[in-house]
Structure 1
Amino acid sequence: MGKPSSTSLWLTTQKKKRWPLMILLVLSVSTVGMILVRSAFDSCSVNGNRCGRFVAEKEETSGIKIGSPNPLGFMKSKLVLLVSHELSLSGGPLLLMELAFLLRGVGAEVVWTTNQKPVEADEVVNVLEHKMLDRGVKVISAKSQKALDTALSADLVVLNTAVAGKWLDAVLKDNVRKVLPKILWWIHEMRGHYFKAELVKHLPFVAGAMIDSHATAEYWKNRTHDRLGIKMPKTYVVHLGNSKELMEVAEDSLAKKVLREQVRESLGVQSDDILFGIINSKLSITFILYSIFKMIKNLLNLLFITGVSRGKGQDLFLRAFHESLEIIKETKKLEVSKMHAVVVGSDMSAQTKFETELRRFVQEKKLQKVVHFVNKTMKVAPYLAAIDVLVQNSQARGECFGRITIEAMAFKLPVLGTAAGGTMEIVVNRTTGLLHNAGKEGVSPLARNIVKLATNVEMRTTMGKKGYERVKEMFMEHHMSHRIASVLREVLQHAKVHSRTTK
């Protein structure tokens, strides 16, 4: 990063006492895996009438007050078995791990088991298991008698990801039917190869399925019916939300100013230039697990952040960005500041074919001075502070949810997103951003949307404010924690009713 400007140094001096805290907060929103300290979920029933697309969600959460009693308090003394397909720093296991901490926080007895563990000693697995043990979570072998006994006696079993379905027959065997009525199956996958009978044949018989977005839930409903001929159980859509730690950074204008100046200086972007950013992030951690990542910081870049990929649509974004520059050049009446694009999550050291294609395109179109590649990084907040518009260009079925979108909206950024997947459940078209089709047919519409926002400061500002308001209304953790609680209540009730009828 370049030498800080005099303004940055002055601001840093003014915040001398607060700066260490701000650094920790920035680290706490690093893009390495979404861990919600007090939970940040949103849910509604797909099968029932409790919830529409967004209106019912807003009505249900409008009366929630910050500081109200912990909605998970009813889980005190309950025995909960959490079954993860693996223990790693990817999104699924970390989400389940945080649920373990939330439940321990209200006095639940929590037991964790990992179905697929590496044969050889693994530093990440070791650190994560010890962190759970330190927080009072019991860790047991997946294929042990203890795992079977715990499953039979548990009040609730949470099965995490479709792949974890292998554990049911392998461990429970003849006891599967006894445990199914108290299983909540948390599904995050969108790819077709997960729809195999060996993985999800028991899915129709569990108490409920919890899925990241309406689009993903609908995809699972149709795909399981068409390919496997099975019916989904009662399904809850669980939207993620922004933690208090991220919101503190997003709402600290001085911190954002410092970050914006320093990142832009490092990229060679002037204060009046317009910067469009496409950020390939996983999920975001919060402060509670920062100690874990300090212990294994030498592994962070390798494990946390994926590189660029065709599915994230960086190639189509760059084509649209180039097309937008051509539109502006040909339309002499348009007045616009110099435009830049930044691709966060690049990794030339990997030397993938796709990475090479991206850089070759930039060279061929002579865009080296306005297109910037930023290597894999843990810290997403500085780039959200630095850019003017977020581009969420995930292809095919889109994102299951796309937490980077609500993070950007917290920073009052308009979003240019594909009309697919979870993005459509976050971005209100022409209000908090502009949507375009996925695929090659979406390149020209995206280019036109880039021009619209580049040439209209008022539109960018208004959309950014509306996005922030939407986050405050729907995607804050004090809204979402009540949703996960309502799901667990229903699953426990289902298990209770079933246990009575089978006696």
Structure 2
Amino acid sequence: MEESVSKVPPSLRLGSFKSSLSGRSTPKSSPTFRRLHSSRTPRREARSGAGGIQWFRSNRLVYWLLLITLWAYLGFYVQSRWAHGHKKEEFLGFTGDPRNKLLDAEKNARRDLLADDSLVAVNTGTNKTQVSSDRKFNVILAKKGNEVSSRKKRSKRARRNLHKMRGKPKEKMNNEIRDTEDQEQEILLTNSTYRLLVGPFGSVEDRVLEWSPEKRSGTCDRKGHFARLVWSRRLVLVFHELSMTGAPISMMELATELLSCGATVSAVVLSKKGGLASELARRRIKVLEDRADLSFKTAMKADLVIAGSAVCASWIASRVLSHRALLKCDVLVSDQYIAHFPAGGSQIAWWIMENRREYFDRSKLVLHRVKMLIFLSELQSKQWLTWCQEENIKLRSQPALVPLAVNDELAFVAGIPCSLNTPSSSPEKMLEKRQLLRDAVRKEMGLKDNDMLVMSLSSINAGKGQLFLLEAAHLFIDQYPLQTGSEVKKSLDIRHDHSTLGVKHHLRGLVLKSSNGDLSSRDLRTRNSHRRKMLFDSQGTEEQALKVLIGSVGSKSNKISYVKENLRFLSQHAKLSESVLWTPTTTRVASLYSAADVYIMNSQGLGETFGRVTVEAMAFGLPVLGTDAGGTKEIVDHNVTGLLHPMGHPGTQVLAENLRFLLKNPSARKQMGMEGRKKVERNYLKKHMYKRFVEVLTRCMRSR
């Protein structure tokens, strides 16, 4: 009995009190169990989490360091947003109040609502209203059922705007006048007003050329000096307006080239009216919404500021002049900015594109404060330097000369080798496509093959001389019959062994002398023996006709009164009006140059400063008839690339004779056009302009 009790199975004696779930003590016959992935029980996890919290709470130093870090970050964030933000009124959600949103909507809808003759003034102490004629208030109508007073409802921004509007009645009046001009411009932009309004032909260009400038991705020569100089640089470009005229378009193309070469570009626009706003957006050119504080801060951080017109004097003066000098300056815009940087002129290159004295007068206060002046032509440079001497203005550095040039898009269509050429679109193939484009556009214009289309593209104002052009065309139609007279034929016969260019010089001299009566028909026959007729050939019976194309209708720079004066002149001469066509303002001008036969630059006064359209027309092989003044005289070689005539009414007679000469001499037109094209290839392509810009940028950014 005792033995049976004392005998214990070995398994029980060697066994463990651990649970059978333990892998080590599990009997062989029992099933095996695997541990879960988590080695902690929920109780252990809770203990560890609570321990971390207790550790964080016990270490108060860590708590305060974290709090200080968050507070410092918030402070830097607020300071950064306040310093660089241009919508301070929306900062930190100040516009989140629905009452402010309602006020802004009402204010925008009724911004121009000002009482003129009798305005209502509300007395907050009583319910009485008084009528006052000597004070003006912003009138904001509240919705029915809104019991909140208008004074409480108005935000701080609204009160500041009210104070500004009270102090600037003159600016509001000017805005209303400009709005009226815009309405008149829209009324004039109709076929019924202009009778023959053609174009634009952008869709025709895309279809015929099988290429669009909108598809270009940049034409920067990465290996060139210009690209190496502007790479990673920050530049600010100041536009005086966004009209489709020479200065804004040139600045836009400069910004595009800078972006293509790796620079950071910001644009300041003083007047946003015009048709280039959408084009700037398409080219991804950043336009600063504020032309005051934000533009000044951006310019202060830039490597260089390039202002693109004498009109930019207002922005430059606000930047570099002291407050006392600003009060004496009567040429600035009505906005007087608070932030001025007297040393900011050392980083401004001023590309002046005007040549009239009025522009010098409005900019003379700051000419000596900028780093460098840039001019377009020798005559313009000499004229401005003479005015500076008269006013005892000493410039900081020697002015530079950077003429405008033909961009790659136009050179590509004109058949001139450029960066856009590919094996499938060589210059030779583009010349063939340009001829197809010419035929298509002239067909849409309703022109015949024998018609000579004379074109003038510019703003329609007295300084461009469109009315004198119409007078010359009227003289041409009335005084000169389309048939060729025998005397003119004899005077224009040439020798067989003359060179082609020499013939054109000779012919021009004969025409002028014959018109003055210096040479008789007998003298001409004696001096020009063994000659034959090359020009004035009367092959066929179809008569040649003169057609005049005038642009740019709808331009911001057009003078409405002058436009109406031109239309009145046409209404008085019905025969002339049948030969005049009009075209809207556009940047797609390759089709117009392709369709034209002659280009006219008829600027008056001091003449054209340079004439960007002049070199563009020459690139397309067009002879130029221009006034003998300004930059036109430097570009056009008389009797070689075109013909020059005096300004004003005396020049209309000479211009009519020049029109007659080119109409009856297609060979002369072709030869002059070829010579003009060669001159453009030598001097006025994009590579020539940016080579000069390299010198300017090197001088301006050398000391920074």
State if a TM-score over 0.5 links the two structures.
Answer: yes
* Residues 165-216 of structure 1: per-residue CA shift (max 9 Å, x gap): 333453455674523233211212233332336x431212322111222232
CA distance in 1, matches of 2:287, 2:577: 54
| Aligned twin of 1:219 | 383
Structure whose CA Rg is larger: 2
Structure 2 contact 235–266 (Cα < 8 Å) conserved:
yes
1:234 Cα deviation after fit: 1.9
Deviations 1:56-80 (A, max 9, x none): xxxxxxxxxx885252312223333
1:469 equivalenced with 2:678 (yes/no): yes
Q: Size of the alignment, in residue pairs? A: 411
Distance of aligned partners of 1:141 and 1:266 in 2 relative to their CA distance in 1, 3 Å threshold:
closer
Counting only pairs closer than 5 Å after superposition, residues 391-430 of structure 1 correspond to structure 2 as: 391-430=600-639
> Counterpart of 2:480 in 1: which secondary structure?
helix
Please state which structure has a larger fraction of its residues in strand: 1
Task: Please say if residues 627 and 645 of structure 2, whose CA atoms lie closer than 8 Å, have aligned partners that are also in contact.
Answer: yes
Cα gap change, 1:465/1:330 in structure 2, threshold over 3 Å: closer, same or farther? closer
Matched with 2:136 is none
TM-score, length of structure 2 as denominator length? 0.52
Name 1:322's counterpart in structure 2: 474
**CA shift in 2, pair 1:476/1:195, >3 Å:** closer
The structure with higher relative contact order (CA 8 Å, sep 6+) is 1
- The aligned residue for residue 230 of structure 1 is 393
Change (3 A) 1:169 1:359: closer
> Residue 236 of structure 2 contacts residue 299 of structure 2 at CA under 8 Å; is this kept in 1?
yes
2:308 corresponds to:
160
Write the distance in 1 (CA, Å) between the matches of 2:634 and 2:392: 28
SS at 2:355 equivalent: coil
Q: Which amino acid aligns with 2:209?
A: M
Q: Secondary structure at the residue paired with 1:201? A: coil
The Cα shift of 1:37 comes to 6.1
Shift of 1:317: 1.6
For 2:566, give the aligned amino acid. Answer: L
Report if aligned partners of 1:37, 1:243 keep a CA contact under 8 Å in 2.
no
Kindly, what percent of the aligned residue pairs are identical?
Answer: 30
Q: Are residues 1:181 and 2:346 paired? A: yes
Greater Cα shift, 326-335 or 256-265:
326-335
Does residue 249 in structure 1 map to residue 413 in structure 2?
yes
Decide whether aligned partners of structure 1 residues 125 and 206 sit closer, same or farther in structure 2, where only a CA change above 3 A counts. Answer: same
How far 1:362 moved relative to its partner? 4.2
Q: 2:439 aligns with which of 222, 242, 261?
A: 261
Structure 1 CA distance for aligned equivalents of residues 578 and 407 of structure 2:
33
1:201 equivalent to 2:349? Answer no
SS, match of residue 412 in structure 1: coil
- 1:283-318 Cα offsets, whole Å, 9 max, x none, are xxxxxxxxxxxxxxxxxxxxxxx4x33222222122
Residue equivalent to 1:375: 583
* Closer, same or farther: CA 68–453 of 1 in aligned 2, 3 Å: farther
- 1:341 corresponds to 2:547: yes
The 10-residue stretch of structure 1 (232-241 or 389-398) with the greater mean CA deviation from structure 2: 232-241
Cα distance change on mapping 1:452 and 1:36 into 2, 3 Å: farther
Q: Distance in 1 between matches of 2:350 and 2:629?
A: 24
1:17-36 → structure 2 map (5 Å cutoff)? 20=207, 22=209, 24-25=211-212
Corresponding position of 2:593: 384
- Amino acid across the alignment from 1:161: S
Contact 1:345 1:374 in 2 (8 A): yes
Deviation at 1:430, TM superposition (A): 0.8
- Partners of 1:107 and 1:141 in 2: CA distance: 24
**Per-residue deviation, residues 137-184 of structure 1 (Å, max 9, x unmatched):** 58474432x655554444322233223233345345567452323321
Q: Quote how far apart the aligned CAs of 1:365 are.
A: 4.3
- Amino acid aligned to 1:483: R
Specify which of 432, 456, 463 is matched with residue 311 of structure 1: 463
| Cα distance in 1 for residues equivalent to 2:300 and 2:308 | 18
Aligned to 1:271, what secondary structure does the other structure show? coil
The match for 1:12 is none
Deviation at 1:356, TM superposition (A): 4.4
Cα distance in 1 for residues equivalent to 2:369 and 2:609: 24
Cα separation, 2, equivalents of 1:141 and 1:374: 36
Inter-CA distance 148–70: structure 2 relative to 1 (3 Å threshold): same
Distance 1:346 1:359, change over 3 A: farther
Counterpart CA distance in 1 for 2:656 and 2:545 is: 12
Q: Classify 1:83/1:316 alpha carbon distance in 2 versus 1 (closer, same or farther; 3 Å).
A: closer
Please state whether the residue corresponding to 1:247 is helix, strand or coil: helix
Q: 1:376 to 1:129 in 2, by over 3 A?
A: closer
The amino acid across from 1:274 in the alignment is: M
In 2, Cα distance between equivalents of 1:123 and 1:348 = 9
Name the residue aligned to 2:253.
Answer: 98
Residues 438-462 of structure 1: CA deviation (Å, up to 9, x unaligned): 1111112112212222222221111
Partner Cα separation in structure 2 for residue 384 and residue 156 of structure 1:
35
Describe the shift of the 1:203–1:434 C-alpha distance in structure 2 as closer, same or farther (beyond 3 A): same
SS in 1 for 2:630: coil
* Alpha-carbon distance between aligned partners in 2 of 1:341 and 1:231, rounded to the nearest angstrom: 50
Native 8 Å contact 2:550 2:582 kept in 1 = yes
Q: Distance in 2 between matches of 1:414 and 1:395?
A: 19
- Note closer, same or farther for the CA distance 1:184–1:475 as it changes in structure 2 (3 Å cut): same
Cα distance between partner residues in 1 of 2:401 and 2:623: 25
Given the superposition, is the C-alpha separation of residues 36 and 190 from structure 1 closer, same or farther in structure 2, using an over 3 Å criterion? farther
Q: RMSD of the TM alignment (CA)?
A: 3.7
Task: Report SS of the residue matched to 2:373.
Answer: strand
- Alignment partner of 1:280 is 2:457: yes
| Structure 1 segments unaligned to the other structure (5+ residues) | 1-17, 30-34, 40-65, 282-305, 497-503
Q: Aligned letter for 2:480?
A: I
Q: Relative to structure 1, is the Cα distance of residues 84 and 261 closer, same or farther in structure 2, using a 3 angstrom cutoff?
A: closer
Match of 1:143 in 2: 292
Return the letter of the residue paired with 1:320.
A
**Shift in Å at residue 85 of structure 1?**
4.1
The question of whether the paired residues in 2 share the 8 Å contact of 1:158 and 1:186 is answered with yes
TM-score (norm 1): 0.70
Amino acid paired to 2:312: A
Deviations 1:352-408 (A, max 9, x none): 554444345445445247512223242432232222211111111222221221121
